[in-house]
Amino acid sequence: MNQKELKELIEFLIEKDIAEFELERGDVKVRIKRGGGSSAAPDTRYFAVHSAPPVTPEMATTPAVPVVATTAPAPTQEAAPVVEENLHIVRSPIVGTFYEAPSPGAPPFVKPGDMVEAGQVLCIVEAMKLMNEIESDVAGEVVKKLVTNGQPIEYGQELFAVRQRT
Amino acid sequence: MDHATVVVSGTKIAEEIGTSRSEVWRLVQQLRRLGVEIAGHPATGYRLQAVPDLLLPDVLAPLVRATIFDKHIHHYYKIGSTNAAAMEAAAAGAPEGSVFFAEEQIAGRGRGANTWHSARSSGIYCSVVLRPLLPPSEALIISLAAGLALHVAIQAIDPKLSPDLKWPNDLLLDGKKLSGILTEMNAEATRVRHIVIGIGINVNQASFPPELRDQATSLRLSTATEWSRVELTATLLKSLDREYRNLLEKPEARQSILRRFEESSSSVRGREVRVEENGGFEGTTAGLDARGFLQVRTAHGMRTVLSGTVRFLK
């Protein structure tokens, strides 16, 4: 199922005011639940996509917005409307500056779409001229880089989303 | 090493190391090319002119007894980078206290894409492996402690000399760079696996390439005397050992590091600086925060310098 088909499906559900919808077709599984009525609580917002080939969270977020926007403030990227099993978040263990490459001008350690092993270096966070190699603690696919090169990083900040290999 | 400068025949050396006299000749020639002064030839025997000021394990180990650094000293005549070698060894399980020296680095590293000029046997190029039982966020201060340890070591040898610490851990003499430290860490979320501290010190350089002349100095250029690299290295390792043990064992060690750092740095307060991070900003230095990060007062309020690029404006 591509993004256009998904969008059409969601528009169809809105048009017909269908609150809940589930579809299984081969290895593609789509479940959409939308807060259609005015009484819908925010926690009923739910949108999940499990499919192969994988759908990236950015792609899933786009069609999700019109579904929930009727009753709740439009979720921002941070509000993480995407709920996906096996999605592992790699966080920074220190305060510092984020570097995606071993040195300026060098190619990045990893980019979205790359497969990584547990223990593989994803980036460097520098504090006080101490270079901290941040490793992936799971094996799988790098789905998203959540920060930009040179950005200041807080303790515990989310750096990468990795879809765990099962 | 007690009778290092007696004459030893080529035959005896050959027997001791289990090879031929011609192989001994080849090895001696190789040592001479590396700068070791050896008199004689296979017929009369060989004699070391002087104990070379080389950072050899047999020479250093007795001088750093009872520190964590006396058991696993590795010495290379030429290497890419001691930090790269130490990180690789640490990942493969090298124990805490492992030390890596090189007489010459052909790919000496600095911060970012910077290199470290590592001329043969005139500087000290040294990387140590530490495995502190600390969470990563509490291990950062080791970066400051390393610079402080070198400051203490230099003053212990020459009390008249007062190098100026530049945050986070450079040492300056006459406003020029005397040493640089690059620390690398490998950690899990709650636990440090290993830390490698790489220390480059300009010791006996009589001159620098033109592109470094305005920025770099050496102990020899500053004091007009040659320094024993062996003595300085041993003093540094003892000083580093003391700072490190205190940090792990004494609750007040952090406060002490921050206080002594401020005492040994003319630029940590009241200096106009430009910081090349997070878009870049300018302001006046205002001391260290409790974690050891440099504070800079700017037109838009107080800011914290996270990484290392601080440039003096005046």
Q: Which residues of A touch B140 (CB under 8 A)?
A: 94, 127-128, 130
Q: Where are the domains of chain B?
A: 10-50, 57-263, 269-312
Cα Rg of chain A, angstroms = 18
For the structural domain made of B269-312, what CATH number should be given?
2.30.30.100
Strands A130-135 and B176-187: parallel
**How would you label A52-81 residue by residue, b for 16+ Cβ within 10 Å and e otherwise?**
eeebbbeebbebbeebbeebbeebeeeeeb
pTM of the shown model: 0.77
B182 touching A, CB under 8 A?
yes
B276 touching A, CB under 8 A?
no
ipTM of this complex prediction, to 2 decimal places: 0.87
A93 touching B, CB under 8 A?
yes
| Partner residue facing B113 (CB), from A97, A105, A137 | A105
How far, rounded to the nearest angstrom, does the alpha carbon of residue A37 sit from its chain's CA centroid?
27
Mean pLDDT over all residues of chain B?
93
A151 touching B, CB under 8 A?
yes
Residue A45, helix vs strand vs coil? coil
pLDDT digits 0-9 by tens, B77-124? 999 999 999 999 999 999 999 999 999 998 888 877 788 888 888 999
More confident site: B224 or A85: B224
Looking at the structure, give the CATH architecture of the domain made up of residues B57-263.
Answer: 2-Layer Sandwich (3.30)
Please report, rounded to a whole number, the percentage of residues in chain B having pLDDT higher than 70.
99
- Kindly tell me if the per-residue pLDDT of A34 is higher than 90: no
Going by C-alpha positions, the residue among A116, A146, A141 that lies closest to residue A53 is A141
Q: What is the pLDDT of residue A84?
A: 66
Q: What is the pLDDT of residue B279?
A: 84
Q: Domains in chain A, ordered, with CATH?
A: 3-70 (no CATH), 87-164 (2.40.50.100)
Q: How many CB atoms lie within 10 A of CB B191?
A: 14
How far, rounded to the nearest angstrom, does the alpha carbon of residue B266 sit from its chain's CA centroid?
22
**Arithmetic mean of pLDDT, A6-29:** 66
Q: What is the pLDDT of residue A59?
A: 39
Verify whether the Cβ–Cβ distance A127 to B293 is below 8 Å.
yes
Q: Taking a C-beta distance cutoff of 8 angstroms, is the pair B264, B144 a contact?
A: no
**Arithmetic mean of pLDDT, B153-159:** 97
**Arithmetic mean of pLDDT, B205-228:** 94
Going by C-alpha positions, the residue among B249, B141, B252, B139 that lies closest to residue B190 is B139
Q: What is the pLDDT of residue B113?
A: 73
B-interface mutation test, from A122, A128, A157, most B Cβ less than 10 A away: A128
Q: Give A41's pLDDT tier (boundaries 50, 70, 90).
A: very low
A-interface mutation test, from B127, B138, B140, B177, most A Cβ less than 10 A away: B140
Verify whether the Cβ–Cβ distance A128 to B182 is below 8 Å.
no
- Kindly tell me if the per-residue pLDDT of B239 is higher than 90: yes
| Partner residue facing A93 (CB), from B111, B137, B278 | B137
| Partner residue facing B136 (CB), from A93, A104, A152 | A93
Domains B57-263 and B269-312 share a fold: no
Residue linked to tokens 């949108």: A47
